[in-house]
Each structure stands twice: as C-alpha cells, then as structure tokens.
Amino acid sequence: MNSRHDRRLVFLLSVAQRRLQRWVAARTQDSGVTAAQSGLLFILGQRDGVLIGEAGAALDLGPPGISGLVDRMTAANLIRRRADPDDGRAWRLWLTPTGRAALAQAKAGLAEINARLTGGFTEAEIDVVARWLTSLQTRFPRGEDQ
C-alpha cells in the first residue's frame, strides 16, 4: 500500500501549485492580473454582484483571504464594492469595465493553460487526477479533524 510515491506527494503537490502560479503570473505580467485575481473575475463573470462572503466560499477562501483579495482588486480598479441595500454589514462586488476586459483576457489564456495541464494524459487519467484533487477537500477539511 505504500508505494515509493507516497513520500513525495506533499512535495509534488506544493511544487506543482507553485510552478503553475508562477507561470501564470509571468504570463499575465502586463495585464497585472494574477491567478488568484482571475479566480474572482471568473466568479463575478458568472454572478456579478455576489456578496464578499459568497465569493470567498466559492474560492475556498476564509474571510481574511477574500477581504485582502477584494482590497487589492479594488485598488487595481478591477472590481467595485457597493453596500448591500438590505444588509448593512454586507457588500456586493461588481466588475468594472477594466475587470471585464481582464476577464476576457483570462478566459482566453485559460485555454492554453488547460491544454498544458491535460496534454499527454488520457481523459480517464485526467478524471483520476480531478477526482483525487477534489477528494482532498474532504480528506483535509477546514474546520476540525478526524
């Protein structure tokens, strides 16, 4: 049950994530939009006007994470915050024209990234990978243990 790979999965996962992150950052250097920021752009592309907390949940970010991301993207004029008319605590997020343009660019770039991510593997193999990655969300839950 313990293959030689076991020992390195933690490391491989970490390296893979950093490599992808760095590559995307270098790729989108001119637009200034990072991978994390693209994530929020995609959310807003589907549901413009979501609550900050909803966006965080969709991106699997805790309150401090999404709050900081929103700050940076607001400063970069990619999104805009407006108070929720029905709830004085809540804020809704909206794409700016700049954000919309960045989203279009991100969508275009995603095709190549996905090609790089899946090339050389069969659909069945990619399914295994996707299933494994998804399963980690259950195996390593946010809240407590066991």
Partner DNA sequence: CTTATATAGTTCGCATGCGAAATAAAATGC
Partner DNA sequence: GCATTTTATTTCGCATGCGAACTATATAAG
CA distance 83 to 81: 7
Binding of a copy of itself by 126 (CB under 8 A): yes
Contacting range for a copy of itself; rule: CB under 8 A; set: 18-26, 47-55, 70-78, 85-93 = 18-26
Query: What b-and-e string marks burial along 24-38, b requiring 16 or more CB atoms within 10 Å of the CB?
Result: beeebeebebbbbbb
* Phi, psi at 124, each rounded to 5°: -65, -40
Number of residues binding to DNA, judged by CB under 7 A:
36
Binding of a copy of itself by 47 (CB under 8 A): no
Binding of DNA by 9 (CB under 7 A): no
- Tokens coding 9: 């999965």
- Footprint of a copy of itself on this chain (CB under 8 A)? 1-3, 5-24, 26-27, 35-36, 39, 59-60, 110, 113-114, 116-121, 123, 125-130, 132-137, 139-142, 145
